[in-house]
Chain A
Amino acid sequence: MGYVAVIPLLPALAFAILAPLSGELRNRLRGVAVAGMAGSLVLSVIAFFQTWPGGHAEHPVWHVTFPLAEISGKPLEMGLMLDPISAAMLLVITIVGMCVQIYSLGYMHRDGRVGWYYAALSLFTAAMLLLVLADNFLLLYMAWEVMGLCSYLLIGFWHEQEAPRKASQKAFLTTRVGDVGFAIGLFAMYNAAGTFSFEGVLGSAASWAPGAATLVALMLLFGAMGKSAQVPLHVWLPDAMAGPTPASALIHAATMVAAGVYLVARALPIFEVSGVALTVTLWVGAITAMVGGLLAAVQHDIKKVLAYSTISQLGYMFIALGAGSVVAAMFHLVTHAFFKSLLFLGAGVIIHASHTQDMREMGGLAKHLKITTITFTAGSLALAGVFPFSGFWSKDEILAVLLHEQQYGVFVIALIAAFITAFYVARLWFRVFMGPEQSDELHEAHTSMLAPMVLLASITTVIGIGGYWFAEFLGHHGAWPEPKIYLPSLVAAGAGLALGWWAYGRMNVVLNTRPLKHRAGYAYDMLSMKLYFDLTYDTFVIKPYMRLALAFAIFDFKRIDGVVNGVARSWRTLSDRGWKFDRTVIDGAVNASASGARALGSRLRRIQVGRVQAYQRYVVGAVVLLMLWTVVKGA
């Protein structure tokens, strides 16, 4: 099964081919990236079916390691492995990646740097595939960082404009805060276990010192929170929407932000040993699910609605992890990857059609964009958790886990979050597709953009039923939804949709929500200010940091520069002395040798008379002398 190693290699190869080319050539060769992606997709499908029917999660189907180095007697090994979780992730990444790449052919075709876009996308895919195939935390961390770089590159893809540039820096720095935690977690892990491999770490976690497991788990969680945009490190994700929409679909909806969930799912045994970490995870997820949902409900930018929705859904996954269920988290990750990337791709079409991202300037798209409407509706219903779309099944599984673990508080929060989710989904849908048309030249997208959406929509529609087998595949007992769980869930979703319809879909006019906002008063202000997260960071982190930097700069200017200048002055005096020495002694020597050479040259130039025959005589004379020597010696 060595071909598994080729799966991340193909997109990496595509990147290696594209990156060094000139822009023009790169644009023309973007097919290389698509081809690499297609190859990975085929191999991933094969790998998935070779892993089927899965089962034993603790025994990888395929595992290979290479010793890299030896650190104080302990071998440092790196390798790849394929187990059911990896196989499922591979399939998700490659399917969504393929859809996004095909979609981008249409979406980005007028961009002058489309070749670079494809190169970055390929590198990202390679890193993500490597991440899910890694058999140790260190390699996972490396791929994790490469993904962070690609995310930075793609958010800032249109770096001529201010917003993407700032957003890319914000995303990079915010996730870096989490990554520092991840790194500390890695150090603590190596300290405790003496290895990075999943097998070694997870196998020995039970025997660690009590505090060590908690420290490692919390630090890993911190890293995951950065990458998966969990409160309070979620602030970068909405801004990251400044990047190209298909890239958002792949990176900031389906795959990279799910890497945090994947990390925690991998490391869950450590969390279970700790216990405290598990509770923290649960509550981080619960708060994030609520905050994300609430903020999504007041956004006007269609992509930001989806971004906050992603944050909220990732919170759901953390809730599942906090409740100790890898299956529910992974299942929601898979379904969410499909329906959220579908929604993002649909949003791309909508933005292209109406030339704006502001939902208040949209409306009536349903009449003109038939296929987009149908596919987007499928995605919306899945997000809202309506039967039989995939979101219903995975959300149901999470709720079931919560009830089983008797986490009633979080269960209620999750239900409220589901209600809010349904509400903003309805708000989005009615605003965009219903109501009066605000633009007269609405047109459907190209087939290359619609085809991936249709594929994702059909996956979203049917995949939910696979939940039972997915659980079995990951080596757990599958279960079908029970009425005591899906009834409240459906009621919450229905209520949310109904409220959304009542507020936004009831009347065929543009709703004036101002009175509503006035009545909500302070609460609305709080939400529209994004719960003051950005303001808080700005006031308490960024501004003080800037002030500190300024203070340092002044200190630099006054003190350090003073020292530097003092050194410079004394150096100058020294140099003056050196200069004089130079002039007299060194230059003297140089000049002497120069004039000596000149004198020698003027003697020698007399030989160079410039007449051919004089040279001929020298040559013949030399030959005669040589011959004389030979003959005399021979004789």
Chain B
Amino acid sequence: MPETVNGVVFGILALASIGGAVAMLTTRNVIHAAFWLLEVMLAVAGLFLLLSAEFLALVQVLVYAGAVSVLMLFVIMLTLRRREDAIRPLDASWGAAALALLFGAIIYVGVAASSFTLGAMPDEVPDVEALGTLLFSLDGGWVFPFEIASLVLLVALVGAVWWSKEEDR
């Protein structure tokens, strides 16, 4: 992929994600905010594609854009008694903004001071097949962490069901 196209695509995606995030935080409607989050997730999936992480891009779409956003919308709608409740105050906070800005500034200083800028994107990278092989190989692979992660998910699932079931305990 030519450098220019790369740069242009990155610019669009970065704009989309940052813009989406800003819109999410500034909209007064919670449902709109959820949709803006969905937009950010899709943009980030595009960024993953740009970084040759095709598998992660797919997972990003499936998990975040699909499952998590839908879950958000469900909960929002379950906890809304009237349509008008979706409209909320902006909750602007100068202190929080200052803290976040300070945080970003420090990161900027940290990155600028480090030597990461030297790295140019390597041309050749392994594809999804290599990722899968590495993920599921016993020898030097990631199969044990992967299985433990599945256990974590299972426990979270049980916990979520336990917490959200009707009040009869």
Contacts and interface: CB of A to CB of B under 8 A. Distances in A.
Direct contact of A and B (CB under 8 A): yes
Contacts of A624: 99, 102-103, 106
Interface in A585-635: 617, 620-621, 623-624, 627-628, 630-631, 634-635
A620 B110 contact: no
A623 B107 CA distance: 12
Contact of A631 (B95, B96, B99, B110): B110
B160 interface: no
Nearest to B91: A613
A627 B102 CA distance: 10
B99 A627 contact: no
B113 interface: yes
Contact of B99 (A621, A630, A634, A635): A621
A631 B103 CA distance: 12
B115 to A, nearest CB: 12
Nearest to B95: A617
Contacts of A634: 110, 113
Contacts of A631: 106, 109-110, 113
Contacts of A620: 99, 103
Contacts of A628: 102, 106
A635 B113 contact: yes
A617 B96 contact: yes
A621 B113 CA distance: 22
Contact of A635 (B96, B102, B107, B109): B109
A631 to B, nearest CB: 5
Contacts of B113: 631, 634-635
Could you tell me the dominant secondary structure of chain B's interface residues? Answer: helix
Contacts of B96: 617
A598 B113 CA distance: 47
Interface residues of A, number: 11
A627 B109 CA distance: 11
Interface in B57-116: 95-96, 99, 102-103, 106-107, 109-110, 113
A623 B99 CA distance: 10
A627 B95 contact: no
Contact of A617 (B99, B106, B107): B99
Nearest to B111: A631
A156 to B, nearest CB: 55
Contacts of B107: 627
A624 B109 CA distance: 13
Contacts of A621: 99
A41 B107 CA distance: 84
Contacts of A635: 109, 113
A635 B95 CA distance: 27
B117 to A, nearest CB: 15
Interface in B93-151: 95-96, 99, 102-103, 106-107, 109-110, 113
Nearest to A629: B106
Contacts of B102: 624, 628
Contacts of A623: 103
A628 B106 CA distance: 6
A279 to B, nearest CB: 87
A635 B114 CA distance: 9
Nearest to A616: B96
A623 B103 CA distance: 9
A635 B110 CA distance: 8
Interface in A59-93: none
Contacts of B95: 617
Interface string A236-266: 0000000000000000000000000000000
A634 B111 CA distance: 11
Nearest to B96: A617
A634 B106 CA distance: 12
A310 B106 CA distance: 101
A630 B107 CA distance: 11
A620 B101 CA distance: 12
B10 to A, nearest CB: 26
A23 B57 CA distance: 68
A621 B106 CA distance: 12
Contacts of B99: 617, 620-621, 624
A239 to B, nearest CB: 66
A616 to B, nearest CB: 9
A634 B102 CA distance: 17
A622 to B, nearest CB: 11
Nearest to A620: B99
Interface string B4-37: 0000000000000000000000000000000000
A624 B96 CA distance: 12
A617 B107 CA distance: 18
A297 to B, nearest CB: 82
Nearest to A634: B113
Interface in A554-574: none
Interface string A311-349: 000000000000000000000000000000000000000
A620 B103 CA distance: 9
A627 B95 CA distance: 18
A634 B99 CA distance: 21
Contacts of A630: 110
A585 B107 CA distance: 56
A614 to B, nearest CB: 11
B93 to A, nearest CB: 9
A415 B99 CA distance: 115
Nearest to B99: A620
Interface string A371-398: 0000000000000000000000000000
A52 B49 CA distance: 94
A619 to B, nearest CB: 11
Contacts of B110: 627, 630-631, 634
A634 to B, nearest CB: 7
9 contacts: A617-B99, A624-B102, A624-B106, A627-B103, A627-B106, A628-B102, A630-B110, A631-B109, A631-B113
Give me the 5 closest cross-chain CB pairs, A-B, nearest first. Answer: A631-B110, A635-B113, A627-B106, A624-B103, A631-B109
Given A620-B103, A627-B110, 9 more contacts: A617-B95, A617-B96, A624-B103, A627-B107, A628-B102, A631-B106, A631-B109, A634-B110, A635-B113
